[in-house]
Structure 1
């Protein structure tokens, strides 16, 4: 008999949703994985998944749900598809930095409003080129990372909405990385032009699928650039993705299994109730932070007077003294996997996921193991 697998509190891929095993078996036996992605049955599956996501995230009817390979590809599709020459990026961690670097690598003038790792942005944070456009005009795109997976800092949904309002009033588009935020964070898709995520984090699924929720303005901006003779991508560009989505299709053969599993998990979250999921997530986070306060050598990475407002609810980052490695090893021996610090924080932090696939009982067990390990 095989040993019980560890509980993965890693930040993505993370603990699988409980329904995955049965759905994998069903998908393997009912023939859908051998269907053409143009088949009526698979188009029906795409429509079912999109319908569940619309209900779960409150996606407006005129916004499209686009499928790609990953959140990193989503960044590239959005930048290449909408930027004429300039973009602006709020950068306070490794994944916000990746969004910025993608724009630079595509040859655009990408400016950054940088904050130290672990610090966030308020609703009234200055936005150069948006608040007071210079001689070069405003950027065409402003990119924000709502929940920075590398450091565990968040921009509150109300601040995202306020920042995006200013961006859109200036004629630019607002794109938001919600990779480890949705569906826990209540960011309204109607208030931004692009929100995107990948399924291996808060949806508790195997990696390999990214999702972009695209406003009509995002798609029309891309079509306008294309009509003007600008390249907006080689094949899977935003206009093509949008045209395919209108027919419950994809441009190329997608991660068909991922789309199916995503729909089932979204339906499960609807049955559980998004308000209940968010309340449970907050309760688990409070329980961990209360325990950390009592453990020597461990403290929250995001701290200060406004820590409760800007500390992530789904990525709980703990700074360790002197090293995180012995704690991670001790937790592993007790059946729990947690992520190492990211980039320069490697070996100095624990990053603990707090997704809907992590039950309160599992979090309580992790806390007991932490007390034994610290």
Structure 2
């Protein structure tokens, strides 16, 4: 969503955030729900099989259909910013060209990492890697920062020994090329382990 096209037919529910690939502030989630989910949820509730708690999808659906109302106060600013971003993107390019550029940047990074003796992918199988968030094992945060590049850290136990290289639409091929130059410069100054 945002960086690569997804086939919405592959799942009944899609839930995503806007702060990464859409380049927007955190605080807005978007959920796309197939109508059969509402029907199934209503059936389970009616049979007493499911206690929906906060996410009572049939009740939410009824509120929207009947009163054009929401369960909670919507993030109006987030919705406005998402609409503005979509309008800007649609004027600039197609989803196909955005995905093509995202995959091109992922390939640039992938080729450089595969050729490197200093870097490697944490996720070994190429088919399991996200084209918008490749990960490499390294400890180059401070060295890259000194070159004016801020690398993301990993998560959990791997946070301090993992670099997340963002490949979001706001990042250009030129940004990726510059990162690769800095990584090569840092690699050439770092003794092999």
Fold-level similarity (TM above 0.5):
yes
1:317 maps to 135
2:26 maps to 207
Structure 1 residues 372, 240: CA separation in 2 closer, same or farther (over 3 Å shift)? farther
Does the alignment pair 1:238 with 2:51?
no
Output one character per residue of 1:292-333: Cα deviation in whole Å (capped at 9) or x when no partner. Answer: 234442112222xxx33332101110123xxx2xx1111122
CA–CA distance in structure 1, aligned partners of residues 123 and 21 of structure 2: 21
1:361 maps to 174
CA–CA distance in structure 1, aligned partners of residues 3 and 25 of structure 2: 19
- Cα pair 2:5 2:96 within 8 Å, conserved: no
CA–CA distance in structure 1, aligned partners of residues 96 and 35 of structure 2: 28
Does the alignment pair 1:279 with 2:100?
yes
- Cα pair 1:225 1:232 within 8 Å, conserved: no
CA–CA distance in structure 2, aligned partners of residues 243 and 329 of structure 1: 52
Structure 1 residues 261, 243: CA separation in 2 closer, same or farther (over 3 Å shift)? farther
CA–CA distance in structure 1, aligned partners of residues 34 and 116 of structure 2: 46
- The normalised TM-score by structure 1 is 0.46
Shift of 1:242: 2.3
CA–CA distance in structure 2, aligned partners of residues 269 and 249 of structure 1: 29
Does the alignment pair 1:259 with 2:79?
yes
Does the alignment pair 1:293 with 2:104?
no
Shift of 1:228: 3.2
- Structure 1 consecutive aligned stretches of length 4 or more whose deviation exceeds 4 Å: none
Which of the two has greater strand per residue? Answer: 1
CA–CA distance in structure 1, aligned partners of residues 102 and 170 of structure 2: 10
Aligned positions, number? 184
Structure 1 residues 273, 334: CA separation in 2 closer, same or farther (over 3 Å shift)? same
CA–CA distance in structure 1, aligned partners of residues 29 and 64 of structure 2: 14
Q: Give the match's secondary structure for 1:337.
A: coil
1:184 maps to 3
Does the alignment pair 1:373 with 2:186?
yes
Output one character per residue of 1:67-122: Cα deviation in whole Å (capped at 9) or x when no partner. Answer: xxxxxxxxxxxxxxxxxxxxxxxxxxxxxxxxxxxxxxxxxxxxxxxxxxxxxxxx
Structure 1 residues 298, 222: CA separation in 2 closer, same or farther (over 3 Å shift)? same
- Cα pair 2:133 2:167 within 8 Å, conserved: yes
Structure 1 residues 265, 228: CA separation in 2 closer, same or farther (over 3 Å shift)? same
Output one character per residue of 1:187-241: Cα deviation in whole Å (capped at 9) or x when no partner. Answer: 321232101101111111110111111011111112223333442124x532233
CA–CA distance in structure 1, aligned partners of residues 83 and 96 of structure 2: 19
CA–CA distance in structure 2, aligned partners of residues 295 and 267 of structure 1: 40
Unpaired segments of 5 or more residues in structure 2?
A: 188-193
CA RMSD of aligned residues (A): 2.0
Does the alignment pair 1:348 with 2:161?
yes
- Cα pair 2:5 2:95 within 8 Å, conserved: no
CA–CA distance in structure 1, aligned partners of residues 8 and 42 of structure 2: 21
- Cα pair 1:189 1:195 within 8 Å, conserved: yes
- The normalised TM-score by structure 2 is 0.84
Unpaired segments of 5 or more residues in structure 1?
A: 1-181
CA–CA distance in structure 2, aligned partners of residues 190 and 268 of structure 1: 26
CA–CA distance in structure 1, aligned partners of residues 63 and 151 of structure 2: 39
Q: Give the match's secondary structure for 2:88.
A: helix
CA–CA distance in structure 1, aligned partners of residues 112 and 132 of structure 2: 16
